[in-house]
Structure 1
Amino acid sequence: MRVSYQWLNEYVNLEGVSPEELAEQLTRGGIEVELVEPRDHGVKKVVVGHVKSVEPHPDADRLRVCTVDAGQGEFLNIVCGAPNVAAGQKVPVALSGARLPGGIKIKKSKLRGVTSEGMICSAGELGLPEKLLPKEQQDGILVFSPSAEVGEDAKKLLGLDDVVLELDLTPNRSDCLSMWGIAYEVGALLDREVRLPQPAERRPGGKGKSVDIVLDAEEDCPLYAAQVVEGIRLGPSPQWMQNRLLAAGVRPINNVVDITNYVMLEYGQPLHAFDYHRVDNGEIVVRHGTAGETVTTLDGVTRACDTETLLITDGSKPIAIAGVMGGENSEVTEETTTLLIESAYFSPESVRRTARRLGLRSEASTRFEKGVDPERILPALHRAVELMEELASGEVASAITAKQIGDIEEVAVDLRHSRLVGVLGVQVDKQAVTDIFRRLRFPTEVKEGVYRVQVPSRRPDISIEVDLIEEVARLYGYDRIPTTLPWGQQSPGSLTPEQRLRRVIRHTLRDIGFYEAVNYSLTSPNVLRSLEQVIHPKARPVRISMPMSDERKVLRTSLVPQLLEIAEYNIHRREEGVSLFEMGRVYLAEEKKLTQQPEERWMLAGLTTGTLTSKYWQREAEVPDFFSLKGDLEILFQRLGVAGIRYEAVQPEGYHPGRTARILMKNRVIGLIGQIHPQTAQTHDLEEVFIFELDLTPVAEAVLGETMQYRPLPKYPAITRDLALVVDEDIPANRLQELIHATGGKWLRSVTLFDVFTGGRIGKGKKSIAYSLTYQAKDRTLTDDEVNGVHQAVIAKLEKEVGASLRQ
């Protein structure tokens, strides 16, 4: 909202208060002033001149030599290049020594040998916003009304001696979208009288013309008023009105349109003027649109309506979109002589919904969608008709016709003084509170420490007790309320055990080179079907009743498909390698038709593809495989303190049949690790892709219920023995390690697999597998005989259980 300081001064006496001081007062009172802008932009010594004659320049085809009376006692000789300059015009003349916006200085000079004693200015050269000016004022020099006085200060004539305050209003302060609203606000802040125009209703001298109003959409238009004015003479509005509109950022058009815009800025009540003769039978019907119905608005665009679009019609055709924009078929033109002026209340929800759907916002819709004051609908109409008579030669041709559904609700709010003091934390005198409500012009009664406040309809933002407390606080002065520290019982914040667990997982995976991804919980059903859910095989995708798009139709049951999409995206952008993880919820339901909420479970998934390290001159690039990813998982399990993990080979659909295993913890399946099937990877333009997915629920149960145990570093040396075995090829290494651990006893500290070999002399159906066994005692140094005894027992156990033999 742009507020003219001079215009505001007509309603509130601003004597002794500069624009900067006023801006400070408003900001302290809760109405932030973003900018204080002088309209003159540094203009000095520019006056009204009368062009006496115009002659061609002797040495330049596009220049003209003008003789101008600028009220300086003698005529001035000015060279001008504007094509529209002509004798008899009143124009702005920058005298020698004048200053123009941008630091331009005007001085006496010669142009192509002819002396020029000043400059005839265009609107842009005076700093006027050209985009808001009529086309004829954008090209060439600015031409004043013939009534302008020669020698008059052009800055004053154009309203450039004014200052504009640009307000940054919060959505709840719709009352300040008008000069009246700002006047009430400033009057309260400065405790000064507010003087507002009080136009009386104009009535026709004779029988008058008829206007019939029918409200078929009562919930969206409970109040509608109209009046007819005839004898209209269309033309430019007076300079003072144009100045105020330009200061407010509104483009002057003609006297009729300018009056409706002026009253909207003054009262905050948008109005619209129809050509009465283009409204069939003088009838106004307010109704909702029908499917397929269209309206061509004033901007020449044909807009489709729906059943929620509120329309103004003449009973047979739409003539306006209520609260948004008028129709082209009832537009005021140069042939218009009779107006039907509309002033109405449209529900904010209806206007907001229509403006958003059509993508059409206007000054009127901005005010309607925030809520206008129903008490100003008739006064605004009175004011517009008064100005039509004064500035457009209009004569009232009908009485006001108004239809109202229901009464305007009166709002009364109680404020307890004890509550006020408790919230503000400062003792405010009761008389001071009453005085603040007087300044706000809120009628108030006080009884037993309770203020009964009648809230005027212009302040729809006040409805509860704390709203009144805010009003008292801002007028009392926020700077007078002392700053105090909060008090009360406090408890230190901390992470829950589940949050700590997830943080450890994130930090661990980041430390070993994975990047975290975050995806939508909604995905495509086709994506889910591309990979079988191994961990939760009975889970069915839960469909959304109103999806945003085909790509967001179902809740995910796995994190893997979306990681594949991210990997594909990055590889296509020349990333050599991608290592990702995501920790998030999946949604599990076994029912085809839901009768209860799906189960939400925290899952962890990881993916690696491409290269792990770049190629250097001393080494080849490292690529991931099943075992590198398994090693990353083991680091994670070790960091979490999870024991008893083992792996079993599986062949699920969508995965490589020989490089995939399920992860078990105490015989419970908690996850999957393996390679995506090459055909599936190829559909994503990927090469070898390795993934893991874990159900974090059993992991959390195992970790959160246990206390981390630490043991001291060993004091005594360890003894290492290597063990190379030949076993059947189908015996898993995990089975051998379990037997070694079970037989090794308390001295066996670790078992490390360091070699697997098949073929050659090993024989068909056999494999060689080698382990390094470390023995160590806590209380002494072991002897070779002790270690050899345990080691031989391990060998005997392996021979008996799995038919293992020592490799020769």
Structure 2
Amino acid sequence: MKVSVNWIKEYMPDFPVNDQVDAQKVADRLALTSTEVAENGYQIPQSSNLVVGKVLEIRTIENSSHLKIAIVNAGKKDYQIVTGAPNIEKNQLVVLALPGALLPNGKKIEATTLDGEISQGMLVSLQEIGFDDSIAPKKHEAGIYVFPKDNDVKVGDDAVKALGIDDLMIDTELTANRGDMLSIRGNLYEFSALLEKEFKLPDLDLQESNKLSKSQISVNVDPKLADRYYLRIINNVKVEESPLWLQRRLWNSGLRPINNLVDVTNYVMLLFGQPMHAFDLNKLEHKNIRVALSKDEKFKTLDGNTHQLKDGEDIVVYDDEEPQMLAGVMGGTKSEVTEKTRDVVLESAVFNPILVRKTARRFNLHSQASQRFERGIDISNCKNALNFAAALLQEVAGGEIAKGIIAGLDDQSSDKKIKISLSDINNYLGTDAKLAEVENIWQRLNFEYDLSGEEFVVSIPKRRPDITIKADLIEEFVRIYGYEKVPARLPQTVNKQSGLTVDEKLDRAIKNVLLGLGLNQAISYSLTDPEAACTFTLGKGDEVSLSHPMSQEHSVMRQSILSTLLQAASYNAVREADDIRLFESGTVFFKQNGVQLPKEDHQIAGLISGVPNSNWQHNQKKYDFYYIKGILESFLSSLALKSIISYQASGQHKEMHPGRTADVYVGDHYLGFVGQINPKISKKYKMNSVFVFQIDSDLVHELYKMNQDYTPLDKFPGTERDLSLLVDKKIESAEIERVIKANAGNYLRKLQVIDLYQGKELGENKKSISYRLDFVNTQATITDAQVNQSIKRIEGELTKQLSIMVR
């Protein structure tokens, strides 16, 4: 929030800030105790040589279509100004930039000649002296700024001071729990505690008429949707431009002045932290205000946009059945106040913060009001703020305040009380604070308390809804007491032997192996959308949904690593990444019947897509099934698992290509799958061919622990034999390998494919596959006779079982 130093000084005259150096000291104190400060300085850049001028005379220039001559008095001297301002009129008070004036954009004003006439300066708009379009009044956006009739300036005054833009601002970045500091009132309490300065809260005398409020409107509020709801009616108001002092407060705080009705509600919001809304009473056809949940209907807000409401999702203020306002977020056009408004309904309420936040997020309508409702409103100040607004509105817009407040909800609950003792504070912080020091801090914080011995019963004011438990109260104490007074001590520890577990070591080894195989580690969200969550699963189970998700895209816990890893790959692909190689080791979640917490499994997934980075040989080749299978084989080989690893063609995975997918087994254990993602799904994620594997990490850990046997190094040399086979194309290599392993005997150590050839000379539907067989005898040097016997047996069974011809 942008905190105005001049506004603070209005209620705390000895506030110790007179320049930017002082402002920085206060900002540093806030950063140490309360909240970060984004910056301090001036909301609007400072200009020099600007004065308040009065337009005495306006003359036309012959042969000029838009330029005029204005004679402007600057107090001691009249100046001739050539201007093209369309809104200039006689007797106006304007901002005059004298010769030598330096504007924020670096422009220096000099006397010059325009259309043959001397111009001794320049009449300026607010934008030309540094006002942003978002805070400059719309009334003057097409011309020069004209001071309102209700002002306190004199001709010849310094225009920078007259506009109030010499006001220093302290711009705080508030955390979600300190909604109380989203107001001048809240900052007064904070500065009073930090600086030990007294302040006086603003007050206005309320004068009611004899006309009853309840005779003009009725109200009904669902108690689940609001804690407080009050209305006041002001009759016979005159809507016009706000007085200058009010406009100053608003634009220095970053808000645009609109008219006196709207400006009063914004002013009270900034002053008290209480958002308010003004309805045009005569536009409320039924005069029956209802606060209820939304229906399936369309609603047009004040920003001109139409929103589709859904049944039971948003708090809406209705006039009978006609929606008038998205409660706590933004009003509607049906009851908008205009210059024709004569009777006003002022609303002051405390709406359900959770529903307000959801509405603001759903429609992307993050307003000043919603920001305050989301962080918590001082419910005890709701009625006081309404009375202040009504009295101020009467002061600036005239009219009569109807008698009585209309209360839709008026729960007068007592303040929360927390018991805390001196020993609680000192034991928790390790300090040696005295009883008098604790009392002094409660007084500085404006917390009422009862004291019995060394035990306090502290009443927590409703302006501080963030303080709910004893630890919060200790935090309040120590930030005022001073963190530097808390003694620094090393924590007491027990000397225990530390180290990584077998599972932790294996996880690190797995990561290093996959990195070594050229994949990049990814860490994706565990949360995803319901459609993606149940894809690529290794097992069956119900999904785990969040009770209060931040968005529909992150409302369900994933059931497979690939579901979110694919999203990460897509993010890179649409940004023209050509070579995508990712892996992730993480947790997946399944609902357990009768158990609140979900079941957590662990998986490892890899993904490749695109074309490998080019090398000096320029032999680029796109990734394919064999590339991803080779990565998986190399990874599993590094684990040296005892059981045989096999691959079986599979069509059961609906997200995978039915002809390019294989299930992976370790012995009889199903480990996972490897293959190409279905092209339809790849296209949906805006990717070309995508090849993946996903395996059960828990099973890998289990099998690895069963494999902790010591095997000595070979003492005797082995031998290799190559076997070239002519086979039918329909026969898979896995089937051939099964026959070889079953008949090779005990000396076969390793079997691998070393060549694949297909050509017309081999015959129709034929292919040639070459295998290399490594034989080792651990007890003696293996002989040719032993190897020849194994090869003969293998060749015979290959011919018998698969009709394969040895080349």
Q: What is the TM-score of this pair, normalised by structure 1?
A: 0.80
* 2:128 is the alignment partner of 1:125: yes
1:325-474 matches, within 5 Å, as: 325-474=330-479
Partner of 1:702: 703
1:241 to 240, 243, 246: 246
- Unpaired segments ≥5 residues, structure 1: none
Partner of 1:636: 635
Partner of 2:261: 256
Whole-Å Cα distance in 2 between the matches of residues 237 and 359 of structure 1?
30
Whole-Å Cα distance in 2 between the matches of residues 153 and 686 of structure 1?
64
Cα distance change of structure 1 residues 594 and 684 upon mapping to structure 2, 3 Å threshold: farther
Residue 60 of structure 1, CA deviation: 5.2
2:209 match: secondary structure: coil
* 2:108 is the alignment partner of 1:105: yes
Partner of 1:286: 290
Residue 609 of structure 1, CA deviation: 8.3
Whole-Å Cα distance in 2 between the matches of residues 370 and 571 of structure 1?
39
Cα distance change of structure 1 residues 741 and 425 upon mapping to structure 2, 3 Å threshold: farther
1:705-716 matches, within 5 Å, as: 705-707=706-708, 709=710, 711=712
2:144 match: secondary structure: coil
Whole-Å Cα distance in 2 between the matches of residues 384 and 500 of structure 1?
67
Residue 58 of structure 1, CA deviation: 5.6
Whole-Å Cα distance in 2 between the matches of residues 402 and 768 of structure 1?
89
Cα distance change of structure 1 residues 219 and 705 upon mapping to structure 2, 3 Å threshold: same
Cα distance change of structure 1 residues 118 and 660 upon mapping to structure 2, 3 Å threshold: closer
Partner of 1:3: 3
1:132 match: secondary structure: coil
Q: Deviations over 1:406-454 (max 9, x none)?
A: 3223211122322322333332222111111101111122223322111
Whole-Å Cα distance in 1 between the matches of residues 208 and 683 of structure 2?
83
Whole-Å Cα distance in 2 between the matches of residues 274 and 588 of structure 1?
50
More displaced 10-residue stretch of structure 1: 128-137 or 653-662: 653-662
Cα distance change of structure 1 residues 142 and 550 upon mapping to structure 2, 3 Å threshold: closer
Contact 2:221 2:229 in 1 (8 A): no
Whole-Å Cα distance in 2 between the matches of residues 136 and 391 of structure 1?
18
Whole-Å Cα distance in 2 between the matches of residues 234 and 156 of structure 1?
27
Contact 2:582 2:607 in 1 (8 A): yes
Residue 372 of structure 1, CA deviation: 1.9
More displaced 10-residue stretch of structure 1: 683-692 or 39-48: 683-692
Residue 513 of structure 1, CA deviation: 3.8
Whole-Å Cα distance in 2 between the matches of residues 308 and 728 of structure 1?
67
1:26 to 26, 30, 33: 30
1:474 match: secondary structure: helix
Paired amino acid for 2:13: N
Whole-Å Cα distance in 2 between the matches of residues 297 and 684 of structure 1?
36
Whole-Å Cα distance in 2 between the matches of residues 352 and 681 of structure 1?
36
Paired amino acid for 2:55: V
1:330 match: secondary structure: coil
Contact 2:301 2:331 in 1 (8 A): yes
Whole-Å Cα distance in 1 between the matches of residues 408 and 529 of structure 2?
53
Paired amino acid for 1:44: S
Q: Deviations over 1:205-248 (max 9, x none)?
A: 57788345433412323433333333322222211111011111
More displaced 10-residue stretch of structure 1: 389-398 or 464-473: 389-398
1:141-180 matches, within 5 Å, as: 141-145=144-148, 148-180=153-185
Whole-Å Cα distance in 1 between the matches of residues 623 and 542 of structure 2?
37
Paired amino acid for 1:122: S
Contact 1:348 1:368 in 2 (8 A): yes
Contact 1:229 1:398 in 2 (8 A): no
Whole-Å Cα distance in 2 between the matches of residues 151 and 401 of structure 1?
48
Residue 671 of structure 1, CA deviation: 6.0
Cα distance change of structure 1 residues 351 and 284 upon mapping to structure 2, 3 Å threshold: farther
Whole-Å Cα distance in 2 between the matches of residues 449 and 478 of structure 1?
22
Cα distance change of structure 1 residues 649 and 10 upon mapping to structure 2, 3 Å threshold: closer
Contact 1:637 1:643 in 2 (8 A): no
Paired amino acid for 1:13: P
More displaced 10-residue stretch of structure 1: 675-684 or 382-391: 675-684
Cα distance change of structure 1 residues 280 and 578 upon mapping to structure 2, 3 Å threshold: closer
- Unpaired segments ≥5 residues, structure 2: none
1:391-790 matches, within 5 Å, as: 391-489=396-494, 494-514=499-519, 602=602, 635-645=634-644, 647=646, 665=666, 670=671, 694-707=695-708, 709=710, 711=712, 718=717, 720=719, 732-737=736-741, 739-742=743-746, 744=747, 787=783
Residue 2 of structure 1, CA deviation: 1.4
Partner of 1:135: 138
Q: Deviations over 1:581-639 (max 9, x none)?
A: 665667899x9x9999998755556677888796976979698676x777655543442
Partner of 1:44: 48
2:276 to 257, 271, 296: 271
Cα distance change of structure 1 residues 487 and 105 upon mapping to structure 2, 3 Å threshold: farther
Contact 1:613 1:622 in 2 (8 A): no
Whole-Å Cα distance in 2 between the matches of residues 448 and 439 of structure 1?
21
Paired amino acid for 1:143: V
Whole-Å Cα distance in 2 between the matches of residues 208 and 571 of structure 1?
64
* 2:87 is the alignment partner of 1:84: yes
Q: Deviations over 1:165-194 (max 9, x none)?
A: 211111111111111111111111111111
* 2:203 is the alignment partner of 1:198: yes
Cα distance change of structure 1 residues 310 and 557 upon mapping to structure 2, 3 Å threshold: closer
Whole-Å Cα distance in 2 between the matches of residues 679 and 120 of structure 1?
65
2:74 to 70, 73, 79: 70
Whole-Å Cα distance in 2 between the matches of residues 137 and 681 of structure 1?
55
Q: Deviations over 1:559-593 (max 9, x none)?
A: 6x99999999999999988776665667899x9x9
Residue 336 of structure 1, CA deviation: 3.0
How many positions carry a matched residue from both structures?
Answer: 784
Contact 1:284 1:312 in 2 (8 A): no
Whole-Å Cα distance in 2 between the matches of residues 123 and 656 of structure 1?
65
Paired amino acid for 1:701: E
Partner of 2:219: 214
Whole-Å Cα distance in 1 between the matches of residues 681 and 99 of structure 2?
82
More displaced 10-residue stretch of structure 1: 101-110 or 452-461: 101-110
Contact 1:221 1:346 in 2 (8 A): yes
1:130 match: secondary structure: coil
Whole-Å Cα distance in 2 between the matches of residues 450 and 675 of structure 1?
70
Cα distance change of structure 1 residues 640 and 199 upon mapping to structure 2, 3 Å threshold: same
Cα distance change of structure 1 residues 438 and 636 upon mapping to structure 2, 3 Å threshold: same
Contact 2:134 2:255 in 1 (8 A): no
Partner of 1:12: 12
Cα distance change of structure 1 residues 338 and 496 upon mapping to structure 2, 3 Å threshold: same
Residue 43 of structure 1, CA deviation: 1.8
More displaced 10-residue stretch of structure 1: 435-444 or 487-496: 487-496
Whole-Å Cα distance in 1 between the matches of residues 683 and 78 of structure 2?
88
